[in-house]
Amino acid sequence: MYPGHEREGVSDSRAGSAVFVTVLLVLASSGTGVLAGPPPASHASGVPGSAVEISQSRLLQAADDADANVTPRHRNPREYDADGDLEALEGRLLTRLVDDLEGSALSLEDEDYQRAARSVDESYADSLDRYAEIAAATAGENDAALFELAGESQGRIVEAVRRYNETKAEYERARAAGDEGRARSLARDLETLATSINESSRELRATYDDLEAATDENLSSADAAIETVTEEIRAEQATIRETEFVATTLTVDAERETISFSEPLTATGQLRTATGRPVGSETIRLAVGNGSVRTETAADGSFAFEYRPTAEPVSTERLAIEYVPANESLYLGSETAVDVSIEQDDPTVSGLETPAEIAYGETATVGGDLHVGETPVDGVPLAVTLGDERIGRTETADGSFEAAVEVPATVPDGERELGVRLGYEDRALAGTTATTDVTVRETEVDVTVSATRVGDAERTVAVDGTLETAAGSPVAGRPVRLDAGGTTLETVTTAADGSFSATVAVPAGAANGDGTIVATYDGSGSNLASDTAAATVTVSTEARSWWGVPAWVWLGVGGGLLILLGATVFVWRRRGRSPRSSQSASIGDAATDTATNPAAERSGTEIADAVLDHGRDALSRGRPNRAVELAYTAVRHALSDRIDAGGASTALTHWEFYRRWTDRRVDGADSDDDTVDRALLRTVTERYERATFDVTDVSSAEAERVLEAVGQLCDRRTDDDRGARSEPTDRGG
């Protein structure tokens, strides 16, 4: 070796080392993320992972100690079991429920209605839910049903007592003002409330007894408080009743015991006061069984009526009859009963009218008549049915019915039956159904979707979209599936305005760099067509070279590159560099980049195949324009990374994309494949422009050719990828 050459080599080596050290220092000063990305959470701030785990464990323990009596609502019961305190927790929750019931009753006795209601409202429901979860995981008795019944009964009695006292205050003001009519009307409201309180009190105190027997808890204080409140109201109402009303007695005699709709109950009766004075020359209402009748009393209080049973069970042996006075009446109600034996009649629907064709969101009018023999059936509820679904309700009036109902999405398209159903079983009227054949048309829908990365969270994405009919009407209450890279992220339900939204986490295996969120509505089993839409979003910076990198990284890398460039020029002048070796290094780097990031290469093809399948499905459903749009979306996914791996091509128009793609073919001179590819892409682009912007629709045959062209382009792209990945190996061989 010549001395001069040796000194030059040493100098070059030192210069190269200086450049290398300088670059490392610059990159290090810019942050470690430039070289290795964000540090793992367990090593943040240079703290060893074990230390972080210990710290987290202590924090969790401290949180448990600080809030030992608060139970997370949705914590897995097995976690408590592992801690050995499952049964103890169940006991604490049971005690809390008992305390809430007792506190509510005592507050009610003190006339603190707000606190009484709050004790058995949300906090009680939360404790009950947690108690039910824990009790279900233990071997002991689960008394959640009893506690639920007690809470509901206590809530009703609290509300009834509050209303009673408010109405009583209003009643007293009306009496003080001399408004007798108003006072009597309010007194009757108080009578109804007092009756409800008495019934609720009996039910609640019986439930208290059941809870004491099942749990060995003591509810005597709550029981005594409820009894005190009930007795006070009972005494107050007795005074009001005596002041405002006159008691009555009702007697009824039936002409025959065996009755039916066609052979109605005919009866006579008398209405008198408790002292025997007739309630004469009055229009009265009698509640009979499940119905009611109006009749007039004679001067001596006598009356007659006829009643046709409809909804009464055929097992009825005693038919209740009650005098129901008007609110402003001076009289109190009274009741009696007669012996009966009910026989069943078969009703008939006639004159059923329905539309011949219907579709989602349209109003279908159903009308007709219901009768037994020649007698119309009045006041009977009918269900409006379409296929196997109940879609509405109507009621007969003098035997006729008419209902206007909206067609839901849940009924499959095709030939279906539309009509009405009387759903009685073992009643005075038998059940019956009447339908006519209708055609339920399929309705085209459009799905739209947008996706935005949430803040600095690389893989958390906010997804918003809509589901509408092709005419623009919102579709509510339907499921929309959100996918990424073939992985289902979540299924959401559309709101009343057809919108849907979700915040989803995109798995690392589903997408890197620019990912695609696909929203799919599957119309199977409904009268809505299927549809899909896709949105591109940057879900991670792992597979990217430029976009999404923080500004401080840009500065660090930029400064480092400037220094590196200056040092390289200096060394180049001193030593020179082989162009051939540089070219080889670039080729090697490119091969390495491709080999180390196969996920990014695969994602475009997978997305394209999935979207292309949706396009074929759209064509099979007679939607050629939609098929072309989806086909074009597929080809953009398949070919975009050949234009710009950074994803900037997503902003290009269709013709800009075509020109950019044809300009950036790097295979050298045009080959036959290049010419074919350009022709295929041009055909796809032209048909896409026509399908999207032209008033003339694309034909099914044209759409089929577009789908075939996109399939060929996708296949060629896949073959090119295989060749590109195998090329370095072949050369090395």
Q: Are residues 364 and 400 in the same domain?
A: yes
Instruction: Tell which of 316, 342, 368 closes a domain.
Output: 342
Predicted pLDDT of residue 457: 63
Residue 7 lies in a domain: no
Q: Return the residue matching tokens 């499905």.
A: 617
Percent of the chain with pLDDT over 90: 52
Residue 192: partners with Cβ closer than 8 Å, 6 or more residues away: none
Q: Are residues 117 and 239 in the same domain?
A: yes
Comparing 620 with 724, the larger pLDDT belongs to 620
| C-alpha 628: how far from chain center | 32
Q: Check which CATH number belongs to the domain holding 508 and give it.
A: 2.60.40.10
Contact 658, 685 (CB under 8 A): yes
Instruction: Tell which of 191, 223, 244 closes a domain.
Output: 244
DSSP character string of 19-49: HHHHHHHHHHHH-THHHH-SPPGGGGGG--H
Which of the residue ranges 165-179, 233-247, 501-515, 618-632 would you say has the lowest mean pLDDT? 501-515
Q: Are residues 380 and 295 in the same domain?
A: no
Distance CA 19, CA 27 (A): 12
Predicted pLDDT of residue 592: 39
Comparing 81 with 253, the larger pLDDT belongs to 253
Residue 61 lies in a domain: no
Q: Are residues 361 and 494 in the same domain?
A: no
Q: Are residues 137 and 193 in the same domain?
A: yes
Residue 313 lies in a domain: yes
Predicted pLDDT of residue 559: 57
Instruction: Tell which of 441, 473, 495 closes a domain.
Output: 441
Confidence of residue 698 (pLDDT cuts 50, 70, 90): confident
pLDDT at 155 over 90: yes
pLDDT at 623 over 70: yes
Give mean pLDDT, residues 100-124.
Answer: 92
Predicted pLDDT of residue 667: 47
Which of the residue ranges 106-115, 253-262, 513-522 would you say has the lowest mean pLDDT? 513-522
Give mean pLDDT, residues 290-311.
Answer: 96
Residue 26 lies in a domain: no
Residue 22 lies in a domain: no
Confidence of residue 456 (pLDDT cuts 50, 70, 90): low
- Report the number of distinct structural domains present in the chain: 6
Q: Check which CATH number belongs to the domain holding 273 and give it.
A: 2.60.40.1930
Q: Are residues 673 and 577 in the same domain?
A: no
Distance CA 693, CA 686 (A): 11
Strand spans (E) along 156-282: 248-254, 258-259, 265-273
Comparing 565 with 345, the larger pLDDT belongs to 345
Contact 536, 453 (CB under 8 A): no
Confidence of residue 560 (pLDDT cuts 50, 70, 90): low
Q: Are residues 93 and 180 in the same domain?
A: yes
Give mean pLDDT, residues 515-525.
Answer: 93
Measured CA angle at 687 (ends 685, 688), to 5 deg: 60
Q: Are residues 204 and 131 in the same domain?
A: yes
Residue 695: partners with Cβ closer than 8 Å, 6 or more residues away: none
Predicted pLDDT of residue 263: 97
Residue 206 lies in a domain: yes
Confidence of residue 250 (pLDDT cuts 50, 70, 90): very high
| C-alpha 663: how far from chain center | 48
Confidence of residue 273 (pLDDT cuts 50, 70, 90): very high
Predicted pLDDT of residue 368: 98
DSSP 179: -
Comparing 60 with 538, the larger pLDDT belongs to 538
Residue 50 lies in a domain: no
pLDDT at 19 over 70: no
pLDDT at 1 over 50: no
- What element of type H or E holds 241? helix 220-244
Q: Are residues 211 and 232 in the same domain?
A: yes
With 0-12 / 13-18 / 19 or more C-beta atoms within 10 angstroms meaning exposed / middle / buried, residue 191 is middle
Q: Return the residue matching tokens 């499940």.
A: 290
Percent of the chain with pLDDT over 70: 72
Contact 157, 200 (CB under 8 A): yes
State the angle between helix axes of 144-176 and 122-136 in degrees (0 to 180), rounded to the nearest 10. Answer: 160
Contact 303, 271 (CB under 8 A): yes
Q: Are residues 175 and 209 in the same domain?
A: yes
The pLDDT mean for the chain works out to 79
Residue 404 lies in a domain: yes
First to last CA, the chain: 34
- Using alpha carbons, select from 627, 647, 646, 625 the residue that is nearest to residue 636: 647
Q: Are residues 221 and 252 in the same domain?
A: no
Q: Are residues 82 and 222 in the same domain?
A: yes
Q: Check which CATH number belongs to the domain holding 707 and give it.
A: 1.20.120.330
Q: Which residues constitute the domain of residue 100?
A: 78-244
